[in-house]
Amino acid sequence: MKRAAIKAFFATLQAANPNPQTELAYSSVFELLAAVLLSAQATDVGVNKATRRLFAVANTPQKILDLGLDGLESYIKTIGLYHSKAKHLMQTCRILVDQHGGVVPRTREALEALPGVGRKTANVVLNVAFGEPTMAVDTHLFRLGNRTGLAPGKTPLEVERKLLKRIPPEYLVDAHHWLILHGRYVCKARQPLCWQCAVSEYCDFKAKTPRPA
């Protein structure tokens, strides 16, 4: 995808959705961190159902610790991999309380030092909570980076670096939201809805399947 097409691509997405937001429900930086940690290999809808109950009784690191592991698991058992996620969240809460005064840190290094928090999760927190121009490459962004020609790469990190380099600065803060939503609802994995796509004219993929009758 050429630079002129990239600018038009994001200008179109911005016009359609000027203020994109994560679909995870949260009301504090810690709730966001916990929700993103729990969201790996799970849907936002499923995570929101669990955290709605959890955050009503425990929405700080100390309150999560006070629940105990069994108590925490009882709230998130509907989420896939809940045993390991509960363990990681408990460990993360302990570190937040002991090392950060119960406050979520604002640096990548400190975030990635938390159990269960990888580069993607750190990028989400840095972007959504702190407004940093980061690129959280999940399956949607990885697929779109390659399929559209926007940022082809063999690894998530390669796609991330290319996205950061190629997306015009004025679109960077919101870009990962636009791409996630576009991948989730339009540029789907099995059959992209090219006939419904507002940015198809800028995309290198083009429709390879006919529009359904």
Q: How confident is the model at residue 41 (pLDDT cuts 50, 70, 90)?
A: confident
Say whether both 35 and 124 belong to one domain.
yes
Cβ atoms within 10 Å of 78's Cβ, excluding its own: 12
* Mean pLDDT, all residues of the chain: 93
Number of folded domains that form the chain: 2
The closest of 59, 28, 23, 21 to 44, measured between CA atoms, is: 23
Let me know if residue 108 belongs to a domain.
Answer: yes
- pLDDT for 209 equals 46
Say whether both 39 and 115 belong to one domain.
yes
| Residue at a domain's end among 128, 163, 185 | 128
DSSP string for residues in 105-165: -SSHHHHHTSTT--HHHHHHHHHHTT--------HHHHHHHHHSSSS--SSHHHHHHHHHH
144-157 as b/e, with b when 16 or more CB fall inside 10 Å?
Answer: bbbbbbbbebeebe
CATH number at residue 170: 1.10.1670.10
Let me know if residue 209 belongs to a domain.
Answer: no
Q: How confident is the model at residue 172 (pLDDT cuts 50, 70, 90)?
A: very high
Average pLDDT over residues 49-74: 96
Cβ atoms within 10 Å of 46's Cβ, excluding its own: 15
Give the integer Cα–Cα distance in Å for 95 and 13: 39
Say whether both 49 and 106 belong to one domain.
yes
| Residue at a domain's end among 108, 128, 148 | 128
Say whether both 124 and 150 belong to one domain.
no
**pTM of the model as a whole:** 0.88
166 has pLDDT over 80: yes
CATH number at residue 73: 1.10.340.30
The boundaries of the domain holding residue 146 are: 3-20+136-202
Say whether both 72 and 110 belong to one domain.
yes
Say whether both 33 and 123 belong to one domain.
yes
Residues that are catalytic: 120, 138
- DSSP type of residue 210: P
- pLDDT for 211 equals 54
Say whether both 46 and 116 belong to one domain.
yes
| Residue at a domain's end among 83, 111, 128 | 128
Say whether both 36 and 115 belong to one domain.
yes
- pLDDT tens figures, 151-163: 999 999 999 999 9
